[in-house]
Structure 1
Amino acid sequence: MGKSKALYTFSFLAVYFSFCTITPTSSTSLQDDFINCLHENTNVDFPLLETFFSPERNVSIYKEVLQSTAHNLRYVTESMPKPGFIFKPVHESHVQASVICSNQLGLHHRVRSGGHDYEGLSFVSLMETPFILIDLSKLRQINVDIEDNSAWVQSGATIGELYYRIAEKSKLHGFPAGLCSTVGIGGHITGGGDGTLLRKYGLAADNVLDAKIVNADGKLLNRAAMGEDLFWAIRGGGGGSFGVILAWKLKLVPVPETLTMFTVTKTLEQDPETKILSKWQRIADKLVDDLFLRVMFRVAGDKTLTLEYKGQFLGEKGTLMEVMKKYFPELGLTQEDCIEVTWIESVLANAGFPIDSPLEVLLNPKLSPYVKVYFKGKSDFATEPIPPFGLKGMFKKLVEENTSSMFMIPYGGMMAKIPESETPFAHRKGTILKIHYATNSTSEDGISLNKRTKWIREMYSYMTPYVSSNPRLAYVNYRDLDLGTNTKDSKANFIKAQTWGAQYFKNNFNRLEVEIPTPRHENNIQNINYFTKVLSASDTNKKGSFVLNKRHAIECLPLLVQWDESATIPRPDKVSPWEIEPLTHSSNILKSVFLKNKRQSEIDDFGK
């Protein structure tokens, strides 16, 4: 390691370890100190009434701003920790000053782009108080350059806004990102970002040309200044770990003038032996790259399901019909099932809007058809088809919970052509599909939330023999603190950190852990080797007025834990008396055989 890199590493860690030594004080005085510090570190004005929000000054407006983009209501309940105040920067220099001032004042901070973090980590801190929220929603400028086939997008913009601005300039350009129009582009890309174009063009993160970030010293860096290691890490290494993303430069991709979409719905009675679903599993990742065909599972009525096969094809209806007739005639697709659309119309449909909606609905998150709920989500990846008896057991578990939802999306295509090491997102060749599980409620009722959380964990447990193993993989954009977290009062345990890290990133976790300096929160990447190298020289090293010592380093390390099942809302600071032990290869095999034999007898009569 070169001297400059070692110094940068120490600087980054020292800044964030300072967050471990916060002295509680009133949020009003903290806010005043923060404002004074901002004035000293930026020349760009920030109108206080439009940029600062605290409960002491106006509790109703504070709550409104806090909840404005908090999409999982589990984390805005009264029992959840709240930021001392919220700051909405209106200029990039304000973000730089915020980082500098957080360091000087010993403030822990969270950064929110679109607020879709599954575990609320972009606006809640269960580890450190006081903390503040830096809300990037006012930094949402988008500049599309069709001649250059690129766009600069600030982190506060949503996916829907990006799609709208591209369509403003061209009907033949698009971008391969997610379906939900209200997701913030800043956080989406840090986890990879998959969508309906992934089989043709890969992930959103695979199509990033440049970026602007603020590091822990408050410095503004582009790709050239940050270096290729850090540029690699931010494209899929998880949000909140490597600095504050201010903007992305994206590579636009070509889309045809005409796309074709369809939905074919099947009931369990129409596919009693799961022949259609089994065929889909075998061929969905091997179809032509222009075809993206996913499956949505919905509880329908009393103890039954419908399966919606939803397709998007980059081409006309006639060509699609030829492809389906050749490779998947079992689905029974007809001309009447298909509708030809433009790319931006497909965006509307995938986001849940009527296809004839005005495009402007993409600009207003309040018009989204998806209501905010209290939810818990989990994810899996599969490397081989789930056998029919496994599918029947899966159906049986799904209908136990009427608020459950589940979908499977195929990989393959471009996803199989990009090497695992190209970005931190390692779910590439050999991955045939991704699975998403969710359960939700519109009520804060603790009993129902506990019941639904218990159900999704049981569902996840049931699926163990049928999905990836050693490690069992997960999608970091569907962050799941059941897999593991950092805690502030536990001893360093690198092996356990590797366990959940490998679930998100496979072998890429080693590069994130060893080579990339990072900050700290409940589920980010920590750097054990750097702790050793920095601390071996001296027990104490000073950065400004804060001290970095061995105790602080130990408190900042990750620990894999199992949450308290009795908690009204599962919380990472409630550690159960026992810990998950990583399964060995042989024990996984034995467990899989046992579960398969046990469950076969339970499901023989289900779905017939």
Structure 2
Amino acid sequence: MAASKAFALALLLCALSATCHVAISAPASSGYAPVPIKDDFLSCVVRSVPPRLLFAKSSPAYGSVWSSSIRNIKFVSEKTVKPLYIITPNNASHIQAAVVCGRRYGMRLRVRSGGHDYEGLSYRSDKPEAFAVVDMSQMRQVRIDGKLATAWVDSGAQLGELYYAVAKATPGLGFPAGVCATIGVGGHFSGGGFGMLLRKFGTAADNVIDAKVVDANGRLLDRKSMGEDYFWAIRGGGGESFGIVVSWQVKLVPVPPTVTVFQIHKGVKDGAIDLITKWQQVAPALPDDLMVRIMAMGQDAMFEALYLGTCKDLVPLMNSRFPELGVNPSHCNEMSWIQSVPYIPLGKSGTVKDLLNRTSNIKAFGKYKSDYVRDPIPKAVWEKIFTWLVKPGAGVMIMDPYGGKISSVDEAATPFPHRKVLFNIQYVNYWFGEGAGALPTQWSRDMYAFMEPYVSKNPRQAYVNYRDLDLGVNQVVGDISTYESGRVWGEKYYKGNFEKLARTKARVDPNDYFRNEQSIPPLLK
């Protein structure tokens, strides 16, 4: 795969997986449709929320606001169950009003913060129901405290905006979160969140130290008032289960003046299979300052690295630990940490200003799945994997090594339990054209079935931020999601932490007000 093709692929992956937001206001003369007397929910909300921030289905701007965040266009369909209303708050009181009115008049809320939302659950429902969407795109402030090395960031901010603000205020600090700048903070932190700094500093959720949450009763809580179990649950238990997180306080991390990035392509004919076979044991054991991940597509594997140091130190380290890859100074690209953030997904054309771009013109259909690998996969199996990668409808495998900090944290420390593994696999598939999805979707499911003997077991693990409804959905009995139906998919995302999440849900939202097809169900007994 040529470098230009790799760049295009990386750009497309970011664009497809990110549900970017645009803050759109309706015209002052028609901010929302006139409130029908019978519409108690909207009549209630409009007492506390300015009309320009409310959109009913009859509002002229409703379609633009609803579709602004959709990058997986399989959900742009007349068949999609859309919200009756969209609320675009610009302060916490608006969110509180939406919750209070929603509870009072039986209007459920879904929450969209602008990030990766592979199944579209933040803005659509899988079945007919009345609901509203709280779109957080107007709440995206980042407030830096350089002396304390902390930041408060609103859930509607995207990672690029967080990274940019941190580097501008405190160039010696960074934050460990995802690769694509258009990922929204709210969903990303809620699921754990990891990126190129995971081996040095763990997940994004590992570095959250406080939060402000609107609970199911409309109360605005912080860490002290919500309690430690509640605070534990929101840091990896998935979005839209326990309330609406308004903002997060995070601990910033030190980054050196110079970091080094390389992207090395190896084809099957160049020994890619032997290299990957060795990589899966070497990469998790490298020093924490070095992350080497792989993107495999067709007959090509791209080895992509971020090193928190200079080329002078990186080359001998790689030649000592992984000489087969053949790293030399010509592969090195030295830059500041903030410059590396756009470089990794966008290549040499990426600039720091690109981190503030909340939109993308690239739209496609997509299907995504994930796995965790605990034991090395034999070379013979990798040979078969590369035959899968050239089948009709084949997608991409992205593999992120663990080890280091992410693996040193206890599995029960946060709901994110995927610690004692070698690496994560994300299966990415995308296509263009509404009728073209049969082959890619079938490939994704067949590939997932093929991999079963070689990945984690009992349970087979998956990453909640790579949401996959194939794993199961909640069943609702008596207006409450059942614990047993949730366990089917929940233990794959959370392992032994699922039961604690469900017990916490029963305490903070026993009536299951905040729910979607894969939200945590309350364990009421």
1:66 aligns to 2:56 (yes or no):
no
1:76 to 1:356, Cα distance in 2 relative to 1, 3 A: closer
1:375 aligns to 2:366 (yes or no):
yes
User: Per-residue deviation at 1:495?
Assistant: 4.2
Q: Which residue of 300, 304, 314 corresponds with 1:306?
A: 300
How many angstroms apart in 2 are the aligned matches of 1:195 and 1:450? Answer: 31
1:34 aligns to 2:41 (yes or no):
yes
Deviations along 1:38-88, one digit per CA (max 9) or x if unpaired, are 354x4xx62x23x12233131xx2221111112221122221111112111
| Contact 1:214 1:244 (8 Å CA) reproduced | yes
| Contact 2:191 2:238 (8 Å CA) reproduced | yes
Q: Which has the larger radius of gyration?
A: 1
1:510 aligns to 2:510 (yes or no):
no
| Contact 1:27 1:84 (8 Å CA) reproduced | no
Please tell me the residue identity of whatever aligns with 2:36: S
Matches within 5 A, 1:443-522: 443-445=433-435, 448-488=436-476, 494-517=483-506, 518=509, 519-522=514-517
What's the counterpart of residue 587 of structure 1? none
Matches within 5 A, 1:199-218: 199-218=199-218
Deviations along 1:293-318, one digit per CA (max 9) or x if unpaired, are 0000122xxxxx11000011000001
What's the counterpart of residue 10 of structure 1? none
SS of the aligned residue for 2:342 comes to: helix
Please tell me the residue identity of whatever aligns with 2:320: K
What's the counterpart of residue 158 of structure 1? 158
Q: Which residue of 366, 389, 393 corresponds with 2:384?
A: 393
What's the counterpart of residue 407 of structure 1? 398
Please tell me the residue identity of whatever aligns with 1:320: L
How many angstroms apart in 2 are the aligned matches of 1:199 and 1:128? Answer: 43
How many angstroms apart in 1 are the aligned matches of 2:35 and 2:81? Answer: 16
SS of the aligned residue for 2:441 comes to: helix
What's the counterpart of residue 278 of structure 2? 279
| Contact 2:393 2:439 (8 Å CA) reproduced | no
What's the counterpart of residue 26 of structure 2? none
| Contact 1:31 1:85 (8 Å CA) reproduced | no
What's the counterpart of residue 355 of structure 2? 362
What's the counterpart of residue 106 of structure 2? 106
How many angstroms apart in 1 are the aligned matches of 2:150 and 2:122? Answer: 28
What's the counterpart of residue 117 of structure 1? 117
| Contact 1:190 1:237 (8 Å CA) reproduced | yes
1:27 to 1:326, Cα distance in 2 relative to 1, 3 A: farther
| Contact 2:41 2:105 (8 Å CA) reproduced | yes
How many angstroms apart in 1 are the aligned matches of 2:57 and 2:378? Answer: 54
Aligned length: 486
User: Per-residue deviation at 1:402?
Assistant: 5.0
1:434 aligns to 2:424 (yes or no):
yes
| Contact 1:70 1:116 (8 Å CA) reproduced | no
Deviates more, 1:215-224 or 1:166-175: 166-175
1:167 to 1:526, Cα distance in 2 relative to 1, 3 A: same
Matches within 5 A, 1:260-339: 260-271=260-271, 274-299=273-298, 305-339=299-333
Gaps of 5+ in 1: 1-25, 300-304, 533-608
How many angstroms apart in 2 are the aligned matches of 1:165 and 1:328? Answer: 36
User: Per-residue deviation at 1:442?
Assistant: 2.3
Gaps of 5+ in 2: 1-32
What's the counterpart of residue 571 of structure 1? none
Matches within 5 A, 1:38-187: 38-40=45-47, 42=48, 46=50, 48-49=51-52, 51-58=53-60, 61-187=61-187
Matches within 5 A, 1:9-28: none
| Contact 1:73 1:374 (8 Å CA) reproduced | yes
How many angstroms apart in 2 are the aligned matches of 1:384 and 1:228? Answer: 34
| Contact 1:127 1:521 (8 Å CA) reproduced | no
1:255 aligns to 2:255 (yes or no):
yes
| Contact 1:140 1:157 (8 Å CA) reproduced | yes
User: Per-residue deviation at 1:502?
Assistant: 1.1
| Contact 2:482 2:521 (8 Å CA) reproduced | no
User: Per-residue deviation at 1:151?
Assistant: 0.4
Please tell me the residue identity of whatever aligns with 1:526: P
User: Per-residue deviation at 1:31?
Assistant: 9.4
| Contact 2:481 2:521 (8 Å CA) reproduced | no
Q: What TM-score, normalized to structure 1?
A: 0.77
| Contact 1:471 1:499 (8 Å CA) reproduced | no
| Contact 2:260 2:307 (8 Å CA) reproduced | yes
User: Per-residue deviation at 1:334?
Assistant: 1.2
1:376 to 1:232, Cα distance in 2 relative to 1, 3 A: same
User: Per-residue deviation at 1:91?
Assistant: 1.4
How many angstroms apart in 2 are the aligned matches of 1:403 and 1:153? Answer: 38
Deviations along 1:453-472, one digit per CA (max 9) or x if unpaired, are 11100000000011001110
Please tell me the residue identity of whatever aligns with 2:56: S
| Contact 1:115 1:122 (8 Å CA) reproduced | no
What's the counterpart of residue 543 of structure 1? none
1:352 to 1:87, Cα distance in 2 relative to 1, 3 A: same
User: Per-residue deviation at 1:361?
Assistant: 2.0
Please tell me the residue identity of whatever aligns with 1:196: M
SS of the aligned residue for 1:478 comes to: coil
| Contact 1:127 1:488 (8 Å CA) reproduced | no
| Contact 2:475 2:481 (8 Å CA) reproduced | no
| Contact 1:109 1:131 (8 Å CA) reproduced | yes
Deviations along 1:407-448, one digit per CA (max 9) or x if unpaired, are 10100000111000100000112x010000011112122xx2
1:341 aligns to 2:332 (yes or no):
no
| Contact 1:71 1:115 (8 Å CA) reproduced | no
How many angstroms apart in 1 are the aligned matches of 2:192 and 2:320? Answer: 32
Deviations along 1:239-258, one digit per CA (max 9) or x if unpaired, are 11110010000100000000
| Contact 2:393 2:440 (8 Å CA) reproduced | no
1:31 to 1:65, Cα distance in 2 relative to 1, 3 A: farther
| Contact 1:152 1:250 (8 Å CA) reproduced | yes
User: Per-residue deviation at 1:384?
Assistant: 1.0
How many angstroms apart in 2 are the aligned matches of 1:146 and 1:243? Answer: 29
User: Per-residue deviation at 1:515?
Assistant: 3.2
1:35 to 1:495, Cα distance in 2 relative to 1, 3 A: closer
Please tell me the residue identity of whatever aligns with 1:415: I
How many angstroms apart in 2 are the aligned matches of 1:206 and 1:354? Answer: 31
| Contact 2:193 2:204 (8 Å CA) reproduced | yes
Deviations along 1:3-40, one digit per CA (max 9) or x if unpaired, are xxxxxxxxxxxxxxxxxxxxxxx996389533431354
| Contact 2:35 2:43 (8 Å CA) reproduced | no
How many angstroms apart in 1 are the aligned matches of 2:220 and 2:38? Answer: 24
How many angstroms apart in 2 are the aligned matches of 1:67 and 1:465? Answer: 40
